[in-house]
């Protein structure tokens, strides 16, 4: 009997120990810290896309996948907030002259950016 074999269907490799083949299950996933967007997406796929979630989990790709989503969503959110603020003339000058109006406009911009990121990246799989 061969010492090492690989299942062609699953891609899992096995090592012969005595008379039994034991799967070589070593986590290849990294240990990134997952931020706000990654956690939201994780909850979404866990609840609504459970097969996809389980596949990522068993293939040790969940953490890196969530990290990628988190990075992309953060970049998208930051870019959208800057673009919308520039488009609508929400500047530091406005902040200095009318703080409450600036807060109101920035909250509106942040909420719209959050809705866009949620629709584009977080609540899709």
Domain identity same for 46 and 5 = no
Question: What's the CA gap between 88 and 30, in Å, rounded?
Answer: 41
Domain identity same for 23 and 37 = no
Tell me what percent of the chain is helix, strand and coil, each rounded to the nearest 5.
Answer: 60, 10, 30
Q: Out of 9-13, 27-31, 63-67, 110-114, which region has the weakest mean confidence (pLDDT)?
A: 27-31
Domain identity same for 24 and 43 = no
Query: What is the structure's pLDDT at 96?
Result: 96
Domain identity same for 13 and 35 = no
pLDDT of 9 > 60? The answer is yes
Domain identity same for 55 and 98 = yes
- pLDDT per position as a tens digit, 68-95: 999 999 999 999 999 999 999 999 999 9
**Spatial strand order in the sheet of 20-23:** 4-6, 13-17, 20-23
How many other CB atoms sit within 10 Å of the CB of residue 119? 10
Domain identity same for 55 and 86 = yes
Q: Out of 19-23, 61-65, 77-81, 113-117, which region has the weakest mean confidence (pLDDT)?
A: 19-23
Domain identity same for 13 and 62 = no
Domain identity same for 54 and 8 = no
Q: What CA–CA distances, in Å, run from 18 to 1, 3, 6, 14, 123?
A: 10, 10, 17, 12, 48
């Amino acid at each position: 009997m061969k010492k090492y074999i690989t299942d062609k269907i699953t891609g899992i490799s096995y090592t012969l120990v005595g008379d039994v083949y034991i799967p070589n299950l070593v986590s290849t996933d990294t240990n990134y810290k997952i931020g706000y967007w990654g956690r939201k997406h994780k909850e979404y796929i866990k609840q609504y896309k459970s097969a996809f979630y389980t596949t990522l989990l068993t293939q040790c790709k969940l953490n890196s996948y969530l990290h990628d989503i988190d990075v992309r969503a953060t970049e998208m959110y930051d870019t959208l907030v800057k673009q919308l603020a520039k488009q609508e003339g929400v500047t530091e000058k406005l902040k200095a002259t009318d703080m409450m109006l600036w807060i109101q406009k920035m909250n509106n911009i942040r909420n719209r950016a959050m809705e866009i990121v949620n629709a584009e990246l977080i609540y899709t799989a």
